Amino acid sequence: MHLLHRAGQCASDIFASEARTSGLTPRQFAVLMVIADEEGLTQTDLVERTGVDRSTLADIVARLLSRGLIQRRRAKDDARAYAIKLSPQGAKALREAQPGAAAADQKLLASLPPAKRQEFLDTLNLIVAAVRK
């Protein structure tokens, strides 16, 4: 548990260094990526897809809204929920952050022998899938 947490901290630090000009945190980047992939998700949907807890996600959404990176409107299916989409500024911020995020991924994976990189990613996906069940 501790090692996984430390690895996550290292990943966040590398992302912050590589994507610093974007002004996005790793979680904000992840949320924007999910929104870009599927416009109109609710915050509950974003919690499920990103694994970010509800209160943290609410804070992320508030920050992204205040920066003009996302827009929200009442969801068609549930008037209590908001459907979220990227604003043009959000799409631009995401495009600008992607090279830094890719560089962070490369830097992280570079610490592993090339033959182990895909196995590592597959193992992380197995852990996430097992916990989500």
Phi, psi of 128, rounded to the nearest 5 degrees: -60, -45
pLDDT at res. 123: 94
Classify residue 133 by burial, with Cβ atoms within 10 Å: 0-12, 13-18, 19+. exposed
Q: What is the Cα–Cα distance from 94 to 28, expressed in whole angstroms?
A: 10
On the question of pLDDT at 133 being above 70, the answer is: no
Domain boundaries, the chain: 2-132
- Asked whether the beta carbons of 86 and 33 are under 8 A apart, the reply is no
Phi, psi of 81, rounded to the nearest 5 degrees: -100, 160
1-28: pLDDT as tens digits? 899 999 999 999 999 999 888 899 999 9
- Residue 40 CA: distances (Å) to CA of 74, 100, 130, 131: 10, 26, 27, 25
3 state DSSP class of 90: helix
- Domain 2-132 architecture: Orthogonal Bundle (1.10)
32-76: pLDDT as tens digits? 999 999 989 999 999 999 989 999 999 999 999 999 999 999 888
pTM recorded for the entire structure: 0.88
